[in-house]
Structure 1
Amino acid sequence: MRALLVVNPAATTTSARTRDVLIHALASEMKLDAVTTEYRGHARDLGRQAAGSEDVDLVITLGGDGTINEVVNGLLHEGPDPDRLPRLAVVPGGSTNVFARALGLPNDAVEATGALLDALRQGSERTVGLGLAAGTPGSEDEGVPARWFTFNAGLGFDAGVVGRVEQHRERGKRSTHSLYMRQAFRQFFGEPHRRKGTITLERPGADPVTDLVLSIVCNTSPWTYLGNRPVYASPKASFDKGLDVLGLSRMSTGAVARYGTQLLTSSPERGPHGKHAVSVHDLTDFTLHSKVPLPLQMDGDHLGLRTSVTFTGVRRALRVIV
């Protein structure tokens, strides 16, 4: 077996020594080419090269969710073809590692490498569904390139939080859970549309849902983690189904306290619920429109402002080692 290992040297939870140990362990079991990313988008380029190669059987990422997202977008640049494309394996090295943990992998890089090698020996893999987002035809975002995401996307509030965190990271701050919480509070108090939102959810065969302040799109559950605590925005979301959406139509102080508490105490059986909460399960195609440009994020990566995004849930898009 020939594998490509894509290493993010800026991964927050792995040292250079740990990376060397992991590379040695992987290389002892397969023919391994290890490449360290050098610029934003490099992992995507490497994934694209692997997709076009007849020699690469497996692409392994050593990094966080952003590295995985880039590799996936490279692998699927010509569309999903699970029988032809290299399989994907992930070794978590970021601060949160939602995709790896949603797959049931250990959050420790060394333990995850051991689990990966065991899975390869046993031939254990699954084919997962992914989300695809693109500018809506006929809108001012029509020309925006389509992009895949592995676990979640968001238009509005949560994407604004992600953007604030990225600004701090560019100034040298570490990506920590406390940083996210601080920026969530600042985003809330700076949100001009928190009492009446600007987002409309449109889907075939149903009435539109209007005036949403927050819209979270989930491809799996949990939505994210706070340390070791899983947070379930859409508990029924699954890699084996379409996409789920959680929308909130009000973010007053009282509503935020109520729904924030529900998120922190959420479980696989129950997520946020109530008068101003909208939950939609297993969607294949839908669109989020906004009356004003709002921030968009995918897999924790801030992608700028959008007014209309069309989402597609693509089942059985990629084979993953688990």
Structure 2
Amino acid sequence: MRALLVVNPAATTTSARTRDVLIHALASEMKLEAVTTEYRGHARDLGRQAAESQNIDLVVALGGDGTVNEVVNGLLHAGPDPERLPRLAVVPGGSTNVFARALGLPNEPVEATGVLLDALSESRERTVGMGIAAGTPGTEDEGVPERWFTFCAGLGFDAGVVGRVEQQRERGRKSTHALYMRQALRQFLQEPHRRHGTITLERPGAEPVTDLVLSIVCNTAPWTYLGNRPVYAAPKASFDTGLDVLGLSRMSTVAVARYATQLLTSSPERGPQGKHAASLHDLDQFTLHSKVPLPLQMDGDHLGLRTSVTFTGVRRALRVIV
């Protein structure tokens, strides 16, 4: 087996020594080429090269959710073709690692590498669905390139939080759960549309859902983690179905306290509920329109402001080692 290992040297939870140990362990079981990313988008370029190659069987992403997202976008640049494309494996190295943990992998990179090697020897893999988002035809965002996401996307409030965290990280702050919580509070206090949302969700054959302040799109559950605590915005979301959406139409202090408590106590059986919460399950395609430009995030990566984004759930997009 010939494999490409894509290594993010800035991965939050792996040291240079740990990365060397992981590379040695993988190289002992396969013909391995390890490449360290050097710029934003480099992992995507490497994934694309692997997809276009005729002799790469496996691409291993060593890093956080951002590294995985780039690799996936490279592998799927010409569209899904699970039988032809290299398989994907993930060794978690970020601060949260939602995608890897949603696949059932340990959050510790050395343990995850052991699971990966066992899975390869036992030929354990699954074909998972992915989400894709693009600018909506006929709108000012029509020319925005398509982008795949592995576990979540968001337009509005949560994307604003992601943008704030990225600003802090550019100033040298370490990505921690406390940092996310602080930025979420600041986003709430400065959110201009928290009482009168600007987002409308439209889908074929159904009435639109209007006046949303927050819209979280989930491709799997949980939505995220706070330390070791899983948070379920859309408990029914799955790699085997379409996309799920949680929308909130009110973010007053009382409403935020209620829904934040529900999120913190959420479970695979129960997520946020209430008269200001809209939960939609297994959607193949839908569009989020906003009256004003709002921030967009995918897999925890802030992508700027958008007024209209069309989302599609693609079943059986990529083979993944589990």
TM-score, normalised via structure 2 length: 1.00
The yes-or-no answer on 1:115 pairing with 2:115 is yes
The yes-or-no answer on 1:176 pairing with 2:176 is yes
Name the residue aligned to 1:55: 55
TM alignment of 1:93-242, pairs within 5 A:
93-242=93-242
Cα distance in 2 between the residues matched to 1:21 and 1:208 = 52
Cα distance in 2 between the residues matched to 1:270 and 1:205 = 27
Name the residue aligned to 1:12: 12
Task: After TM superposition, give the deviation of residue 68 of structure 1 in Å.
Answer: 0.3
Cα distance in 1 between the residues matched to 2:103 and 2:222 = 10
The yes-or-no answer on 1:321 pairing with 2:318 is no
Partner of 2:68, secondary structure, is helix
Task: After TM superposition, give the deviation of residue 17 of structure 1 in Å.
Answer: 0.1
Task: After TM superposition, give the deviation of residue 32 of structure 1 in Å.
Answer: 0.2
Partner of 2:11, secondary structure, is coil
Name the residue aligned to 2:280: 280
Cα distance in 1 between the residues matched to 2:295 and 2:203 = 21
The yes-or-no answer on 1:263 pairing with 2:259 is no
AA matched with 1:212: L
Task: After TM superposition, give the deviation of residue 289 of structure 1 in Å.
Answer: 0.2
Partner of 2:80, secondary structure, is coil
Task: After TM superposition, give the deviation of residue 106 of structure 1 in Å.
Answer: 0.2
Write the deviation string for residues 186-205 of structure 1: whole angstroms up to 9, x where unpaired: 00000000001000000011
Cα distance in 2 between the residues matched to 1:274 and 1:165 = 29
Segments of structure 1 that go 5 or more residues without pairing to the other structure are none
Cα distance in 1 between the residues matched to 2:286 and 2:23 = 41
AA matched with 1:58: L
Task: After TM superposition, give the deviation of residue 155 of structure 1 in Å.
Answer: 0.1
AA matched with 1:22: L
Task: After TM superposition, give the deviation of residue 43 of structure 1 in Å.
Answer: 0.1
Task: After TM superposition, give the deviation of residue 313 of structure 1 in Å.
Answer: 0.1
Task: After TM superposition, give the deviation of residue 238 of structure 1 in Å.
Answer: 0.1
Partner of 1:250, secondary structure, is coil
Name the residue aligned to 1:41: 41
Aligned-residue CA RMSD in angstroms? 0.2
Q: What is the count of residue pairs matched by the alignment? A: 322
Partner of 2:308, secondary structure, is strand
Task: After TM superposition, give the deviation of residue 91 of structure 1 in Å.
Answer: 0.1
AA matched with 1:142: E
Task: After TM superposition, give the deviation of residue 58 of structure 1 in Å.
Answer: 0.0
Cα distance in 2 between the residues matched to 1:111 and 1:46 = 25
List structure 1 segments (4+ residues) > 4 angstroms apart after TM superposition. none
TM alignment of 1:62-101, pairs within 5 A:
62-101=62-101
Task: After TM superposition, give the deviation of residue 18 of structure 1 in Å.
Answer: 0.2
Cα distance in 1 between the residues matched to 2:55 and 2:259 = 49
Write the deviation string for residues 161-218 of structure 1: whole angstroms up to 9, x where unpaired: 0000000000111100000000000000000000010000000110000000000000
Cα distance in 2 between the residues matched to 1:49 and 1:260 = 42
Task: After TM superposition, give the deviation of residue 79 of structure 1 in Å.
Answer: 0.2
Task: After TM superposition, give the deviation of residue 158 of structure 1 in Å.
Answer: 0.2
Cα distance in 1 between the residues matched to 2:22 and 2:208 = 49
Segments of structure 2 that go 5 or more residues without pairing to the other structure are none
AA matched with 1:293: P
TM-score, normalised via structure 1 length: 1.00
Cα distance in 2 between the residues matched to 1:171 and 1:45 = 27
